[in-house]
Every structure is written in C-alpha cells, then in structure tokens.
Structure 1
Amino acid sequence: MSKPFDMELFLAGVLTGSHATRQRHLRQATLIQAEIAERWQRSTPWAWQRKHVIWFLENRTNQLTKNTQYYYLLTVRLLTRRLGKPWAFNI
C-alpha cells in the first residue's frame, strides 16, 4: 500500500508569505493535483507534463473570476518552481 502524496511536504521549500497565503496555495495545489489525477491519471506533480497544467488552467478555472484565476496561476508558478521546470504560462 502506498502513502498518499503529501502536497504540503512537496511545496515546503517554496512556500513563503503569511499563513493564510500558504494555506491558500496548499488548498489550490491539492485541488490541481486532484483534478489532474482524475483526468490524466497522473497522481504526483513529478508525472505531470506542461499540457496537464495548461488543461487545468484553461478548462477548470474558466468559470472563476479573473482574480481567482490569477491566484491559481501563482500556485502553478510555485509548483513549476518546485519541479524545476522552465514552463511559462500566459493565462
């Protein structure tokens, strides 16, 4: 039996800011992970490709306000920084 992926531990090195900001990033990162895992069967960020993240940003945040979309983009940038990928998103 494998342990569930710990998003808080994964992002620990790149999370900064107030407690509320860190909690928002963790909450959003966990949601991003769940959505990608459900759609693409990629359970950890290490298995993600850029297309998976773009799919989430374009299809799962399109009903949200622009401000909320921006906050998700900030969380995606944290995930990208933690993965060490050179991905850029222009959403």
Structure 2
Amino acid sequence: MSKPFDMDLFLAGVLTGSHATRQRHVRQAKIIQAEIAKRWQLETPWAWQKKHVTWFLKHHLSHRSEATSYYYLLTVRLLARRLGTSWLFYL
C-alpha cells in the first residue's frame, strides 16, 4: 500500500510568507491536485504536464472571481517552481 501524496511536504521548500498565506497555497494546491487526479488520474505533480495545469486554470476557474483566479495562479507558479519547470502561466 502506498502512502498518499503529501502536498505540505512537497511545497515546503518554496513556501514563504505568513502562516495564513502558506496554508492558502497548500489548500489550493490540494484542490488543484484533486481536480487533475479526478480528470486524468494523475495523483502527483511529478506526473503533470503543462496542459493539465492550463486546463485547471481555464476550466475550473472560469466562473470564479478575478481575485480567486489570481491567487490560484500564484499557487500554480509555486508548483511550477517546485517542479523545476520553465512553465509560464498568465490569466
């Protein structure tokens, strides 16, 4: 039996800021992970491609406020930094 993926540990190296900000990024990263896992059965960020994250930003956040989308964009940029990719995302 494998352990569930620990998003807190995954983001620990790139998180900065206040406790509330760090908690928000972890919470949003877990939501991103759950939506991508539900759609493509990819459980860990290591398996993601840019198209998966782009899909989340375009389709899952299409009915959200601009501010909410912006905060998710910040979280996605942290995920990309942690993965060591050169992915660029814009709204």
TM-score, scaled to structure 2? 0.99
Aligned length: 91
Measured on the aligned residues, the alpha-carbon RMSD in Å equals 0.4
What 5-or-longer segments of structure 1 have no aligned partner?
none
* 1:60-71 pair list within 5 angstroms: 60-71=60-71
**Counterpart of 2:57?**
57
* One-letter amino acid of the counterpart of residue 79, structure 1: L
* 1:1-91 pair list within 5 angstroms: 1-91=1-91
* One-letter amino acid of the counterpart of residue 53, structure 2: V
Overall identity of the aligned pairs, in %: 71
State the distance in 2 between where 1:77 and 1:29 align: 11
What 5-or-longer segments of structure 2 have no aligned partner?
none
What is the Cα deviation at residue 74 of structure 1?
0.0
State the distance in 2 between where 1:78 and 1:89 align: 11
Q: Is the 8 A contact 2:29 2:75 kept in 1?
A: yes
TM-score, scaled to structure 1? 0.99
Q: Is the 8 A contact 2:80 2:87 kept in 1?
A: yes
* One-letter amino acid of the counterpart of residue 56, structure 2: F
Cα shift readout 1:53-85 (whole Å, capped 9, x = no counterpart): 000000001111000000000000000000000
Q: Is the 8 A contact 2:28 2:75 kept in 1?
A: yes
